Chain A
Amino acid sequence: MNAANLLKIALRALNNNKLRGFLTMLGIIIGVGSVITMLAIGQGSKRSIQAQISEMGSNMIMINPGNMDKRGGGVRQSASSMQTIKLEDYKGIVEKAKHVSVASPSVSSNGQFIYGANNYPSSIYGVSTEYLEIRKLSIGEGDMFTDQDIRSSAKVCVVGKTVVDNLFTSGDDPIGKVVRFNKIPFRIVGVLAAKGYNSMGMDQDDIVLAPYTTIQKRVLAVTYLQGIYASAVSEEMTTKATEEISEIMRANHKLKDSEDDDFSIRSQEELSSMMSSTTDLMTVLLACIAGISLVVGGIGIMNIMYVSVTERTREIGLRMSVGARGRDILSQFLIEAVLISITGGIIGVVLGVFCSFAVKLLLNWPIYIQLYSVVLSFAVCTVTGIFFGWYPAKKASELDPIEAIRYE
Chain B
Amino acid sequence: METKKAIIELRDIRRDFKVGEEEVHALRGVTFSIFAGEFVTIMGTSGSGKSTLLNTLGCLDTPSFGDYFLDGVSVRTMNKNDRAILRNRKIGFVFQSYNLLAKTTAIENVELPLMYNSSVSALQRQNKAIEALTAVGLADRLNHKSNQMSGGQQQRVAIARALVNDPVIILADEATGNLDSRTSYEILVLFQELHAKGRTIIFVTHNPELSQFSSRNIVLKDGRVVEDTHNDAVKSAKEVLDSLPKVDN
Residues A405 and B95 in contact in the complex (CB < 8 Å), given A16-B102, A16-B103, A321-B58: yes
Is A314 part of the binding interface, using a Cβ–Cβ cutoff of 8 Å?
A: yes
In the docked arrangement, what's the CA distance between A107 and B4, Å? 116
Is B88 part of the binding interface, using a Cβ–Cβ cutoff of 8 Å?
A: yes
- The answer to whether A326 touches B80 (Cβ under 8 A) is yes
Is A193 part of the binding interface, using a Cβ–Cβ cutoff of 8 Å?
A: no
The contact size tier of chain A is 20 to 34
301-343 of chain A: CB within 8 A of chain B: 314-315, 317-326, 328
Question: How many Å from the CB of A337 to the closest CB on chain B?
Answer: 19
127-165 of chain A: CB within 8 A of chain B: none
A residues neighboring B (CB under 8 Å): 1-2, 5, 12, 16, 314-315, 317-326, 328, 401-402, 405
- The answer to whether A321 touches B89 (Cβ under 8 A) is no
In the complex, besides A1-B116, A405-B99, 8 extra interface pairs with C-beta distance below 8 angstroms are: A2-B118, A318-B95, A321-B93, A322-B113, A322-B116, A323-B87, A325-B85, A402-B60
Residues of A within 8 A of B116 (CB): 1, 319, 322-325, 328
In the docked arrangement, what's the CA distance between A320 and B88, Å? 9
Residues of A within 8 A of B117 (CB): 323
- The answer to whether A323 touches B88 (Cβ under 8 A) is yes
In the docked arrangement, what's the CA distance between A375 and B84, Å? 40
Residues of A within 8 A of B95 (CB): 318, 405
- The answer to whether B55 touches A5 (Cβ under 8 A) is no
- The answer to whether B85 touches A322 (Cβ under 8 A) is no
3-49 of chain B: CB within 8 A of chain A: none
The contact size tier of chain B is 20 to 34
- The answer to whether A323 touches B118 (Cβ under 8 A) is no
Residues of A within 8 A of B93 (CB): 321-322
- The answer to whether A319 touches B80 (Cβ under 8 A) is no
B residues neighboring A (CB under 8 Å): 55, 58, 60-61, 80-81, 84-85, 87-89, 93, 95, 99, 101-104, 112-113, 115-118, 161, 165
In the docked arrangement, what's the CA distance between A325 and B85, Å? 8
Residues A1 and B60 in contact in the complex (CB < 8 Å), given A323-B85, A326-B80: no
Question: How many Å from the CB of A332 to the closest CB on chain B?
Answer: 10
Residues A402 and B118 in contact in the complex (CB < 8 Å), given A315-B101, A323-B84, A323-B87: no
Give the 3 A-B residue pairs with the shortest CB-CB distance, closest first.
A323-B88, A322-B113, A323-B116
Residues of B within 8 A of A314 (CB): 99
- The answer to whether A12 touches B118 (Cβ under 8 A) is no
Residues A323 and B101 in contact in the complex (CB < 8 Å), given A1-B118, A402-B60: no
The 29 listed contacts between A and B (C-beta, < 8 Å) are A2-B118, A5-B115, A16-B102, A16-B103, A314-B99, A315-B102, A317-B99, A318-B95, A318-B101, A318-B112, A319-B116, A321-B60, A321-B93, A322-B112, A322-B161, A322-B165, A323-B84, A323-B87, A323-B113, A324-B84, A325-B80, A325-B81, A325-B85, A326-B80, A326-B84, A328-B116, A402-B60, A402-B61, A405-B95
